[in-house]
Chains A and B, each alone.
Chain A
Amino acid sequence: MSAHAAYRTLRLLLAVVLIAAVPHKLLDPAGFALAIARYDLLPTAMVNTVALILPWVEVLLAALLVSDVLMGPTLWLTNLLFAGFTAAIGIAMARGLDIDCGCFSAGTTGSMILALVRDLVFLLLGLILALLYTRAIAPSRAPAEVIEEPAAWSAPGNEPSASEQNAS
């Protein structure tokens, strides 16, 4: 699988994951706020704000992932989001809480360990995608957009030839 194909697959996969997590949060913000509150991590005053904004961040990130624009900030935010979710679940587990993770549909009372592993996988996929982007995709794009990043690894121009090889 060429870097570009993997990149596209992962983008769409993560977009689907993000979108799948959105509907119940948008339709039942009060329930989602309660789910957040049960983690007991945020100050009470912030719980509702986060519950209201978070689903829209996910919607925007999914849209940006699909449309493949502003990928730098999108990937940073996506990975930050998954890292945050993973950390929240990890902390809750460490405290011995057994709560509805609030990840996907409300009321899915899967085990916390499952949610943790799932989020770790998403985080891993997001990191792979970010790596693919910075090392293979961005260098092949217009250099004006990413000046500082391609220098880290290889000379620009490697990737297109590699993908051409694969394609042929």
Chain B
Amino acid sequence: MRPSTRTLGQAVLIVGVAALLAFFFNRWRPAPLAWVRSEAFVPAAMTSTAQEKMPSSEPEALPGEKSAATFPSDPTAPPAPSDAPTVSPAPSPAEAPPEGTTPAAPPAEEIPAAETLPPLPPESTSSQIPPSPGQEGPYEDPAPSLRLLADGKTELPLIGVAEALQLHLSGNAIFLDARDPDTYAQGHIPGALCVPPTDLDRLWPQLAPLLEGKTIVTYCDGEACPLSRELAEALHVRGLMTPIVVFGNGWSLWQSEHLPVTTGANP
């Protein structure tokens, strides 16, 4: 029952046709799936239960420690060591999930942030402390690195799907969908509001009270999608004191982790 070369060739042909069909079908889909996945999956247990085991400070702690390590010999940089203790000193890399949902971007982006760190006045850290006196659950202070946002020139932090999920579960974050309303209506992260950057001025009066005291998470779709960053920066220049983070490639990642989604227009 060995297959002849002809049979093998025909089998390869069938698979090839299937690949071709898959290619065109995937291109035709409104939200194509990336052919090669670079980011590991969140394990099954994490998407369904036991999110509390996720180290919340993991994505921030790494850049934080890195920035402290970048300037070990700089005597004019006392804020960096003073910042380090607040970065939940637990050895988070050890307990981090092996998949490492931390996007590759943050360390590179936090380097310029670290340069602005030394002149950062201490009052900016104190101004960030109030928001979470009585928080419940496993959720900790969203992100020590976020306090850099009080400074005008820092990059807005990128977060991965694991942290986005935790922020979502904490109930202490508000998700803003930067895509257009039609796309939003077809599906979005539950509780997210549709705020395209171009509509921010129009929506601002209704939006502003909702953002009070919450971590703002902006997202759009696609690795290179600029909308979420534009929205985050537009919010940032309004002088919000709440942390703003960008959930890079958010919609795709959220979907690929099979997390809940809802449909419908803006509430």
- A interface with B by C-beta (< 8 Å): 26, 29-31, 33-34, 37-38, 44-49, 51-53, 55-57, 59-61, 64, 70, 72-74, 76-77, 99, 130, 134, 148, 152
Contacts and interface: CB of A to CB of B under 8 A. Distances in A.
A75 to B, nearest CB: 9
B256 A34 contact: yes
Contact of B8 (A46, A56, A73, A134): A73
B1 A134 contact: yes
A35 to B, nearest CB: 9
B38 interface: yes
30 contacts: A30-B255, A30-B258, A33-B37, A38-B44, A45-B36, A46-B36, A47-B37, A52-B22, A52-B23, A55-B22, A56-B17, A56-B18, A56-B19, A56-B22, A57-B14, A57-B15, A57-B18, A59-B18, A60-B18, A60-B21, A70-B14, A72-B6, A72-B7, A72-B10, A73-B7, A73-B13, A74-B14, A76-B3, A99-B44, A130-B1
B26 A59 contact: no
B3 A53 contact: no
A29 B252 CA distance: 12
A47 B252 CA distance: 15
Contact of B35 (A49, A64, A130): A49
Contacts of B11: 73, 76-77
A130 B34 CA distance: 36
B25 A60 contact: no
Interface residues of B, number: 36
A74 B35 CA distance: 25
Contacts, number: 93
A138 B44 CA distance: 46
Contacts of B34: 48
Nearest to B47: A34
Contacts of B38: 44-45
B221 to A, nearest CB: 12
A44 B18 contact: no
B258 to A, nearest CB: 5
A56 B29 CA distance: 15
Nearest to B252: A30
A37 B257 CA distance: 11
B129 interface: no
Given A45-B36, A76-B7, A134-B1, A29 B26 contact: yes
Contact of B37 (A38, A44, A148): A44
A99 B11 CA distance: 30
A34 B41 contact: yes
Contact of B258 (A34, A74, A134): A34
Interface string B15-51: 1011101110110010001111111110110000000
Contacts of A37: 41
A2 B14 CA distance: 30
Contacts of A47: 37, 41
Contacts of A61: 14
A59 to B, nearest CB: 7
Contacts of B41: 34, 37-38, 44, 47
B3 A73 contact: yes
A60 B33 contact: no
Nearest to B14: A60
Contacts of B39: 44
Of all A-B residue pairs in the complex, the 10 with the closest CB atoms, nearest first, are A73-B11, A73-B10, A56-B18, A57-B18, A30-B256, A37-B41, A56-B21, A72-B7, A48-B37, A52-B22
